Chain A
Amino acid sequence: GDSVTQMEGPVTLSEEAFLTINCTYTATGYPSLFWYVQYPGEGLQLLLKATKADDKGSNKGFEATYRKETTSFHLEKGSVQVSDSAVYFCALSERNQGGKLIFGQGTELSVKP
């Protein structure tokens, strides 16, 4: 079945450091890909998305490119801030499956001043 694998956390960075959180997926079809973020004490929020190969999703300085050849959707940010500390989830959704999301296990990011 479909699955999503993320790099294990926690990831600890200093402010202004470069961030990469790896995400790879297995899918039988041609899914849409998402990154969700969960800030402490809050619900899941959509961070960015991509729906076809080579699409780049971006939001709040974060970017991820849909790489079909490597089945990857790595999250990057050039300069992290303390306020980026959160848990990040990679997810996929196959077409014709009613919008059901399959999530990775999440990667906790902690940014120190």
Chain B
Amino acid sequence: DTGVSQNPRHKITKRGQNVTFRCDPISEHNRLYWYRQTLGQGPEFLTYFQNEAQLEKSRLLSDRFSAERPKGSFSTLEIQRTEQGDSAMYLCASSPVGTLNYGYTFGSGTRLTVV
């Protein structure tokens, strides 16, 4: 297992376009998290899944954002009608249930630039 994989690594899009990012967690991890990190700031929680169920969404996640985790494996994060303020690094992380004490494994992120 090579860890948490995110694709693409970089995405440049025009304002108003839709984008979709993919995250492949560590295979035995039940929980999957999405965070957003802007320059000079710490990551901010967006949403998380336990298996295929989306259990919490942040208020940061506007109606233009949607996340799915079909079959409890990989996850996608879609942003519709992108805005310049959506430019950020989008991070995915995974963990087994009940091992909070050990922290997560993060992916390398997808850097989104909206022009």
Contacts and interface: CB of A to CB of B under 8 A. Distances in A.
B31 interface: yes
Contacts of A32: 100-101
A89 interface: yes
A65 to B, nearest CB: 16
Contact-residue bracket for chain A: 20 to 34
Contacts, number: 63
Interface residues of B, number: 27
Interface stretch (A13-21, A72-80, A94-102): A94-102
A98 B104 contact: no
A73 B44 CA distance: 20
B72 interface: no
A98 B108 contact: no
A100 B106 contact: no
B45 A101 contact: yes
Given A42-B108, A44-B91, A93-B100, A103 B55 contact: no
Interface stretch (B14-22, B35-43, B60-68, B75-83): B35-43
A49 B109 CA distance: 22
